[in-house]
């Protein structure tokens, strides 16, 4: 799957910081069930509070940051993360809570 292949209105879960336009997208992941998530990747992203996450159309995120890679292959269960301006693909690490 590539982000560029998804429909523009594809539902994307984003952290509150992205929703508020305060920070940039630093991490993108596709869960095994097909849900697409994006976050700023900072320490205060709250994965325990579903209310803190918003759903927006994918095109809004891609429009907000042209550097988000739309052509890299992102299989389910993998993530894209940005380190020093370079995006890399890696397997998702599932943490037990």
Residue 97 CA to residue 81 CA, distance in Å, equals 22
**Of 45, 69, 74, 82, which lies in the binding site for Zn ion, with binding defined by CB under 5 A?**
45
Contact yes or no for 53/15 (Cβ under 8 A): yes
* Pairing between β-strand 78-83 and β-strand 27-30 as defined by DSSP bridges: antiparallel
Specify the residue, 2 or 20, whose C-beta has the smaller distance to Zn ion.
20
Based on the shown chain and the rule CB under 5 A, indicate whether residue 25 belongs to the binding site for Zn ion: no
Based on the shown chain and the rule CB under 5 A, indicate whether residue 15 belongs to the binding site for Zn ion: yes
Based on the shown chain and the rule CB under 5 A, indicate whether residue 40 belongs to the binding site for Zn ion: yes
Based on the shown chain and the rule CB under 5 A, indicate whether residue 82 belongs to the binding site for Zn ion: no
């Amino acid at each position: 799957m590539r982000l560029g292949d998804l429909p523009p209105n594809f539902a994307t879960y984003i952290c509150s910081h992205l929703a508020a336009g305060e920070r940039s997208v630093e991490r993108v992941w596709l869960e095994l069930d097909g849900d697409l998530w994006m976050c700023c990747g900072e320490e205060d992203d709250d994965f325990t509070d579903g209310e803190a996450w918003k759903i927006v159309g994918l095109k809004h995120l891609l429009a907000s940051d042209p550097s988000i890679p739309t052509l890299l292959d992102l299989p389910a269960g993998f993530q894209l993360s940005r380190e020093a301006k370079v995006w890399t693909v890696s397997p998702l690490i599932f943490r037990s809570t």
